[in-house]
Amino acid sequence: MRVRVLVRLKPGILDVQGAAVKRALAGLGFAELTDLRVGKVIEVELDASTPERARERVGEMCRQLLANPILEDYTLEMVDDLAPRGAVR
Q: Which residues bind another protein (CB under 8 A)?
A: 12-14, 16-17, 20-21, 23-24, 27-28, 38, 64-66, 68-71
Question: What's the Cα-to-Cα distance from 82 to each of 2, 18, 77, rounded to whole Å?
Answer: 7, 25, 11
21 binds a second copy (CB under 8 A): yes
> Is residue 38 exposed (0-12), middle (13-18) or buried (19+ Cβ within 10 Å)?
middle
Window 45 to 84, contacts with a second copy (CB under 8 A): 45-48, 57, 59-67, 69, 73-75, 82-84
Instruction: Pick between residue 51 and residue 69 the one whose CB is nearest to a second copy.
Output: 69
- CA 36 – CA 38 distance, rounded (Å): 7
First-to-last alpha carbon distance for the chain, in angstroms, is: 25
Shortest Å distance, C-beta 72 to another protein: 9
Instruction: Pick between residue 10 and residue 53 the one whose CB is nearest to another protein.
Output: 10
